[in-house]
Chains A and B, each alone.
Chain A
Amino acid sequence: MTTGLRFAEQAVAASVADAPGSLKGLRAAGAEAFKTLGFPTTRNEDWHYTNVSAIATAQYTPAADVAPVSLDAAALEPYTFGGTWPLVVFVNGRFNAELSRLDALPAGITVRSLADASVDDADALGAVLGTAATADRDGFTALNAAFAGEGTYIRVAKEMVIDTPIHLLHVTDARGEGLMSHPRHVLVAERHAKAMVVESHIGLANVPYFTNAVVEAFVEDGATLQLIRVQREARTAHHVGTVEARQGRDSHFVTFTFQTGAALSRSNVYTVLDGEGCGCTINGLYMLDGEQHGDHQTRVEHVKENCFSREAYKGLIDDSAHGVFNGKVYVHPEAQKTDGKQTNHTLLLSEKAQIDTKPQLEIFADDVKCTHGATVGRIDETALFYLKSRGVGKVLARQLLMYAFAADVLETIEHPVIVDALEKLTVERFTGSANH
């Protein structure tokens, strides 16, 4: 191991600290795995375009090592989507019960802090924890396992349909300077259940910190689980977010990743289509400017027959920002009649803006339909002139065209409140009227 020695020492320290049973096992496995794996380097094919040495050489204090803090509930209002939804709040990496709102949950929906669940629901949680996002997956997932402690355990009972999203809101303010947090959320949608979870990461102050989040999602037979991820970390932050899903027969797993924040960020969405007739929809929108670096990796593993995967990522990149998209689709020999479609479209808004896009299909079955397409373009000058010729000023004309570019992918989100909020952020993104 060449990088992250300090992290390894911290990980070992965390893993031997007192913890409930299932967490303790995960921590030990994580610390052990990180010792071997370390941080990925650009020699690793999966990290070729993203250099994480800025993270590896930084010194962060585990969030668990400092006293938890709270803040004024009003400070959260802009981020709660008009907020009547069930809400789980983490401030500077620590669960905050006061700011959370879990009193109005319908019967059949369990939403608990990971720490509580690991005591009271030890068997149910222990059966799934660390089985999708295994500790030895990669360095970041290992590190997350080593520091396991904060997070949420959500279980939607079979045939329960909940239309209201459950919101996991992570905020970091100035007091979060120099901290690292490793939240892990475990989501279980039982047979024929349907639910939506929103996972937000919001930076309230421009201080350096590091978020390394993991979501494990178990979408059982016939269930539908939608996960909307909003990454609006501070521009000084480092963010790695990993989703690992396991899908049963006829299930549908949906993710949307909205990424505008952080100096350096990496999003991983991985799913295994491990039941016949199931499918996933993995969409995203990234908007980067300044010196931001934002990387998206997806991996869909088609294991069984008659499964579908749909992926559409779009991006707007300005200034000297650098975007990366790597979409992997792996079709096992048994996964006949696989129907896969992947697209990645990026608009570069400046000369120095950059995107590396890499579709990667590995197909070992002979009766499949898999397509991919990637485009990189610029704002259409003809359309810009058309708008101006109707009296629309430069700024609004550009906003309209960027919005138009992003609108179709945003509108795939099956919740109008979220669509409206994200559209508004999109329109404001490059005009200085929104921070991030």
Chain B
Amino acid sequence: MLQINDLHAAIDGKPILKGITLTVNAGEVHAVMGPNGSGKSTLAQVLAGHPAYEITGGEVLYKGENLLEMDPEVRAQSGVFLAFQYPVEIPGVTNAYFLRAAYNEIRKAKGLEEVDPMEFLDLVEEKLKLVDMDVSMLNRSVNAGFSGGEKKRNEILQMAVLQPSLAILDETDSGLDIDALRIVAEGVNALKRPDNATIVVTHYQRLLNYIVPDQVHVLAGGRIIKSGDKSLALELEARGYDWLLETAA
């Protein structure tokens, strides 16, 4: 599904990622953990194609194709989805319009017919249940005035509607209370299929109680300093990051 080889990236000339190598297969869930400033979010943004980052080395193959050469919208149309750490507010565009526009752009890219608003409403209503959101949120502007929890649930709703092959969740758990966290995690789990993969970027082990990873990677200083199974996350929770950083140094 995804093969990252020695990826280097910088922002404003400052190197952030300094050689990431990672392989994610279909059906797998990978957790990327690490202290603040380790490059976790940069990795997520680079995979989605954020224009602020400059790729200074390495390559990323997605389904065998060069992901880094694709525009962000082409990546999305090919099935890459980033759940934003800070979802963007777009006053003036309703959620319903936004979701349908995105859904139809992706369908068009696949050579499928666009769906009309009524058909789309049926589809969305079902997905709304998954994240426990009321249909009234469709008429609200995208994320405008949403609470932190609502914004994160809205990200998962988008993911449910767009059905990506590769979902990257960038600190989707940050700032969520336990109920919201559970809703978000259940949503992610319900969307899991043998032919898609998920990368969960998180600062805390807590989310991994609900979304069980196949592999856990610890990022520090722009490199993966340790990989392991889910027990690594528990160890990090118990011992913090310092012991690992010292070992790596």
Contact residues of A with B, CB < 8 Å? 380-383, 385-394, 396-397, 400-401, 403-408
Contacts and interface: CB of A to CB of B under 8 A. Distances in A.
Contacts of A405: 92
A352 to B, nearest CB: 22
Contacts of B84: 386, 389
Contacts, number: 79
B106 A381 contact: no
6 contacts: A385-B51, A387-B98, A389-B48, A391-B76, A400-B90, A408-B92
A184 B54 CA distance: 59
Contacts of B73: 388-389, 391-394, 397
B115 to A, nearest CB: 14
Interface residues of B, number: 30
B102 A407 contact: no
Interface of B: 48-51, 71-73, 75-77, 81-82, 84, 87-93, 97-98, 101-102, 105-106, 109, 141, 158, 162
Q: Max chain A CB contacts within 10 Å: which of B81, B89, B105, B158? A: B105
Nearest to B77: A391
Contact of B76 (A380, A388, A396): A388
Contacts of A406: 92
B87 A407 contact: no
A258 B62 CA distance: 47
B51 A391 contact: no
Contacts of B48: 389
A401 B102 CA distance: 14
A400 B48 CA distance: 20
Contact of A385 (B72, B77, B93): B72
Given A396-B101, A396-B105, A397-B73, A388 B93 contact: no
A403 B82 CA distance: 24
Contact of A391 (B88, B92, B93, B102): B102
A401 B101 CA distance: 13
Contact of A408 (B76, B91, B102, B162): B91
Contacts of A388: 49, 71-73, 76
B76 A390 contact: yes
Contacts of A403: 92-93
Nearest to B161: A390
B71 A382 contact: no
A131 B141 CA distance: 46
Q: Max chain B CB contacts within 10 Å: which of A390, A394, A407? A: A390
A405 B91 CA distance: 8
A220 B87 CA distance: 50
Nearest to A409: B92
Contacts of B162: 390-391
B123 to A, nearest CB: 16
